[in-house]
Amino acid sequence: MVPKISKNTLTEADFSLLIEMAWEDRTPFDAIESQFGLSESEVIELMRSQLKRSSFNLWRKRVTGRVTKHVALRSKLVTRAHCPTQYKHK
């Protein structure tokens, strides 16, 4: 198990990566927890504090009930945390 990381010890780069991972459809909350040690509810709390209210509301609407954000709900065919073309710099 990954040690719990205090939100106070996260760097600006960590916040940026965490928010990016939270916005991505295929990155499950379990992946965020394994990398940063933050539970889904802690990610929600962090997103609420870091995003503008309208952006937070859009994000919550987007991830609520999205099966790819929860490993237990996603299809066994989804084996990646990102799409094949993501992170390919041209």
pLDDT in tens, 10-61: 888 888 899 999 998 888 888 889 888 999 999 999 999 989 999 999 999 9
- Domain membership of residue 57 (yes or no) is yes
In a domain, 90, yes or no: no
Q: How confident is the model at residue 85 (pLDDT cuts 50, 70, 90)?
A: low
Q: Which pLDDT belongs to residue 67?
A: 74
pLDDT of residue 1: 45
Domain that holds residue 15: 7-69
CA distances from 63 to 1, 7, 42, 56, 70 (A): 25, 21, 15, 11, 10
The whole-model pTM stands at: 0.70
Q: Is residue 12 part of a domain?
A: yes
**Residue 26 covered by a domain:** yes
Instruction: Identify whether 79 is part of a domain.
Output: no
Does residue 54 sit within a domain?
Answer: yes
Which tokens hold the place of 2? 């990954």
> How many domains, in total, are found in the chain?
1
